Structure 1
């Protein structure tokens, strides 16, 4: 079996969210194979199903005044940040009721990406994500509807980590965030990171990747 990989480049969160829903519908209806969307977002704060707003350090209006978009969404987890230099992946895969296993597979794929750069990363039992020491390298939060996943992961590649200081990331106080750039002391080409992610997903899920192209008319 194969999975489709679509590179959406830098795309506003709302536009990508709408496209996810269209792709999700097509996967549910069997009109397309499992699909992995890879992209970056302009600066945006998103709050998942567990969020109450207490982990926002400022009023919602402040974020918008500072140039952050802000969305309450249906993924799991609390509050997180997305921005340029962060590789966001939305795996829209049939998972049935095996949601926990699916989360562990995403974590394993990201651990393999880190290992490709000589970084020893690990998941933490109890909540989704991938860590290096006491700092989170990759946040994970998914939703599942009609047996098919959407939303996904956010891997800090060359992310401006200062933008995380305006929230309590994932609601975890006393924990930090990190990036491939910070750990390697160099910029990592985004196309290279995307290639590592695709290779890791192919290995973990046992699927053959095929490059696809977004049809703008579908959004």
Structure 2
């Protein structure tokens, strides 16, 4: 999928959740994409963790989007692989905790493919390299259908993270695969690893499609 605005991806998720919930969509869907620069706030808010003025933020041209996912404030931008699984948790026989742990496992295995040892941290869900966050998780569940998901830092600019307390946490850093390896990292290869490990961790087989085909599928499902 291309680099798209956060609001466009959110609209698509909402449509997919409704179609999956109502039975108009028979299969679960996993969106893998990148976002144009945006700050998002979770259910717990997060504007109090913005450490630059709103005037500065406005001048930067980066919008702020309130979402219903869990968690606090974070940043998305090109070079960060975002995954939005639209899954019927009951049908998949997954508890919310199991689901989150599997998302973490996908990111941990992907990082290992590139020689980076990431791990969980009881302080905050997601995956970490020492005191630096490499991947975040923020999900929502609507009538048994999950959406939102994970954000895995590959080669994005970290500067905007310096304008916030990431995930509402103080004294932590944010890192990327590229920063850990001190060399360029191919987003194409990261996507390939994420798809591979999503299939093995969740024990599913993913069929590739694109956003236009999904939109056509949703129109037929009306």
Structure 1 and Structure 2 fold alike (TM over 0.5): yes
Matches within 5 A, 1:95-106: 95-96=89-90, 98-106=95-103
- The residue aligned with 1:157 is 154
What is the CA deviation profile of residues 125-177 of structure 1, one whole-angstrom value per residue up to 9, with x for unaligned ones?
Answer: 25311001110000110000010111111111001011210111001100000
Alignment partners' CA distance in 1, 2:163 and 2:73 = 11
Which stretch of the first structure deviates more once superposed, 26-35 or 174-183? 26-35
Alignment partners' CA distance in 2, 1:183 and 1:73 = 30
Unaligned runs of 5+ residues in structure 1 are: 1-7
Instruction: Name the structure with the higher strand share.
Output: 1
Please point out which of 38, 44, 52 is paired with 1:44: 38
- The residue aligned with 1:16 is 9
- The residue aligned with 1:68 is 62
Greater relative contact order structure (CA < 8 Å, 6+ sep) = 1
Query: C-alpha root-mean-square deviation of aligned residues, in Å?
Result: 1.6
Residue 65 (structure 1) shift: 2.2
Residue 61 (structure 1) shift: 4.5
Please give the secondary structure, in 1, of the residue aligned with 2:134.
strand
Please point out which of 60, 79, 87 is paired with 1:85: 79
Contact persistence 1:111–1:121 (CA under 8 A): yes
The answer to whether residue 134 in structure 2 is matched with residue 141 in structure 1 is no
Cα 1:52–1:137 change in 2 (3 A) is: closer
The answer to whether residue 204 in structure 2 is matched with residue 200 in structure 1 is no
What TM-score, normalized by structure 2, do the two folds share? Answer: 0.90
The answer to whether residue 172 in structure 2 is matched with residue 175 in structure 1 is yes
Matches within 5 A, 1:25-36: 25-30=18-23, 31-36=25-30
What is the CA deviation profile of residues 39-89 of structure 1, one whole-angstrom value per residue up to 9, with x for unaligned ones?
Answer: 111110000011242101134453232110111110000000001111111
- The residue aligned with 1:3 is none
Instruction: Name the structure with the higher helix share.
Output: 2
Alignment partners' CA distance in 1, 2:58 and 2:34 = 19
Alignment partners' CA distance in 1, 2:123 and 2:162 = 24
Contact persistence 2:46–2:168 (CA under 8 A): no
Unaligned runs of 5+ residues in structure 2 are: none
Alignment partners' CA distance in 2, 1:126 and 1:101 = 18
Cα 1:60–1:99 change in 2 (3 A) is: farther
What TM-score, normalized by structure 1, do the two folds share? Answer: 0.91
Contact persistence 1:9–1:38 (CA under 8 A): no
